[in-house]
Structure formats: C-alpha cells, structure tokens
Structure 1
C-alpha cells in the first residue's frame, strides 16, 4: 500500500480590496471620533495633528497622503489602498484592518500594537522600527519591505508571509515562528526566543545566525 505523501500547503491567496471602478475625490479634515468615511479617493494631502478613536474607513484609496502628529486608535480599515503614503510614527494602536494594501509607503515607527490584520499586504514599504507588538495576523504578506528593528513581540503570525524582506534586528520574542518562512529574507541578527524557533523555515546560510543564538560555534 502506498503511503500518503505529505505535501507542503500553499497559503491561500490574499483577498484584495473590493473597490468600485470609480471613486469621487474626498478631502479629509477635522476627523472626529466615531466618524465613518467611505467611498472616496484622497490624494496629495496632509493630515496634521489629528487625534480620534474608532474612526472607520471603508472602500477608499489614499494616494500620496502624509500623516503627521496623528493618533487614530481603534481605527477600522476595510477595503483600503494606501499608495505612496507617509504614516511614519502614526499611532494606529488596536486597529482592525481587513482587505487593505500598503504600497510603496513610508511606515517608519508606525504603531500597530494590538492590531488585528486580515488579508493585508505590505508591498515595498519602509517599515523600520514599526511596532506590531501583541498584534494578530492572518493572511498577511510583507513583500519586498524593509523591517529593520521592527517589533513583533508576542504577536500571532497565522498564514503570514515574509518575502524578500530586510528584517535585521527585528524582534520576534514571544512569537511562535512555526511555519514562518524567512529563507529569502536578509538579517544578521534577530531577537527571538529559542522556544519559538521550532518549525521556522530558514536557508542554510541563515543557520549560522540561529546557531549563534543558541550559543553554538559553527566551524568552517
């Protein structure tokens, strides 16, 4: 009797944002808590010194929008595209993000602590020092991103993919890496607990880095 062959499961494709063919131009000013903003395109804009909670964006495109001194806690994003936006040091703690794409965005120091992300893609984003502590990921792709010193402490990575990313000095302590493929990412050091490593997929060249984490000496 032939034994069954265990095949590696390919992650299901991400659901893309569901957007109508045409969206009217919108201007974002004076956002207030509990505002519901939907069905529009915002471009070449500055959002400055805005503090609110439980704002929701639905079916929108934000193109070349810069956020400064902005805190939108418990933000809800559904069917959103951020294109060439600057979200550096923005506070999106406890956000809920569904079917959203960040394309060519600057996300340095973005705070997504405690966020829930479902079907989210980060493509060619600069996310150094971004914070994802205690976040819950499912069907999330980081594609060709810089995540140096990003913080994934105690987060949940379910069906989360890192493709061709720079993750040097990223912090994964308390985060189970079982099934997470880092084999085509670049790093010389990671913050990770030994108990979280089983099942992590790495390349032969990266094995020496993990050996050093375990106190082993690799001999040529």
Structure 2
C-alpha cells in the first residue's frame, strides 16, 4: 500500500465564513455547516484548514492552492477548480460529482468513501494519491499522469483512461464492466483474470471455451 502523508492540522482552529474573507490566504481555520453559492474566487490559498459539512453551489475557484486541508462530508459537486494544487489533502465522505480538476496537481491526497461520478482529472498530475471505496463512474482521467496512485474497492465503470498509462496501477479490487483506454496503456496494469478477459476484447481476441 502506498504511504500517503496525512494533513497536518493543529488544534484550536478559528471558525470563519469563507464568503467574508478579505485576504487570499486562509490559515488555521474551520469552515463548517454552511452553503457557499454563486461565488468566484481567484488564487485562494488554504493552509491547515478543515471544511466540515460545507456545500458549494455554482462556485469557481481559479488556481486554488491547498496545503494540509480536510474536506469532511462536503458537497463539492460541479465545483470548478482547474489548475488547482492539492498537497496533503483529504476528501472524506464527500460528493464531487462533476467536479473539474483539469490540469490540477495532486500530491499525498486521499479520497475516501466519496462519490466522484463524472469528475474530470484530464491532464492532471497525481502523485501518491489513493481512491479508497469511491464511486468514479464515468470519471475522466484523459491524458492524466498517474504516479503511485491506488484505486481500492472503487466503482470505476465507464471511466475514461484514454492516453493515460496504467503501468503499475492495481485495478484488481475495483468493479467495472467497461473502461475507455488503449491497449498500449494497459501494459503493467494489475487486474484479475476476469478483468483480463474483458480487456482482451480491446485487442480483438475471441475467447473460446
């Protein structure tokens, strides 16, 4: 199992309202039990921040930078976070349906017990990232760089891995009926015998009993 560094969260965080901040730098704060809607932020930096039970509606955050941040039971569906930077970040029991992480950079990030259907990681860079018991149906990993990335007991049905190397990626505990990928990108991917039969169709093989 890949070692993922946990966020460094100190005790005694200060409760704040994100919509009332004047600075682009949010430090040692707790944002909880609120709805953030119809908002646009530019170049926000979060350092040692916990989001708990927060819902984002029609929110765009240009080039967001997060270090040591936890999202717990949050709804970030359709959140636009293109080109964001995520370092030591956790998403726990959260919804990220349709969230856009295009060209984002992830390092030491955990997605656990979360729903990421239709989310986009196109052209993103993922290093030491774990998806644990997540639903990733129709998620888009087009031309994504995966380095030490784990998918553990995830539903990845109809996910798109086109132009993304799966060398060293273990999909054996995941469930799926169909994936979009290329034959050459499957080299070194770890799968079960049953999954291998499904992938053989990509190569035009016909299984004979």
Task: Establish whether TM, by shorter chain, passes 0.5.
Answer: yes
Structure 1 position 111, deviation (Å): 0.2
Structure 1 position 219, deviation (Å): 2.3
Query: Paired residue for 2:169?
Result: 180
SS in 2 for 1:212: helix
Cα-to-partner distance string for 1:98-146 (whole Å, 9 max, x where unaligned): 0000000000000000000000000010000000000000000000000
Q: How does 1:35-74 map to 2 (within 5 A)?
A: 35-74=24-63
Q: CA contact under 8 A between 1:113 and 1:131: conserved in structure 2? A: yes
Query: Paired residue for 1:29?
Result: 19
Which of 146, 157, 177 lines up with 1:157 in the alignment? 146
In 1, the alpha carbon distance for the partners of 2:42 and 2:48 equals 19
1:144 partnered with 2:133: yes
Higher gyration radius (CA): 1
Structure 2 spans left out of the alignment, 5+ residues:
none
Cα-to-partner distance string for 1:6-50 (whole Å, 9 max, x where unaligned): xxxx53x11000010221211111567x71111111111111111
Q: CA contact under 8 A between 1:31 and 1:50: conserved in structure 2? A: no
1:114 partnered with 2:99: no
Query: Paired residue for 1:202?
Result: 191
Number of residue equivalences: 209
In 1, the alpha carbon distance for the partners of 2:46 and 2:154 equals 28
SS in 2 for 1:50: strand
Q: Which has the higher helix share?
A: 2
Q: Which has the higher strand share?
A: 2
Query: Paired residue for 2:71?
Result: 82
- RMSD of aligned alpha carbons: 1.2
SS in 1 for 2:171: coil
1:99 partnered with 2:78: no
Which of 6, 10, 16 lines up with 1:20 in the alignment? 10
SS in 1 for 2:142: coil
In the TM superposition, structure 1's runs of 4+ consecutive aligned residues that sit over 4 Å from their partners are none
TM-score (norm 2): 0.97
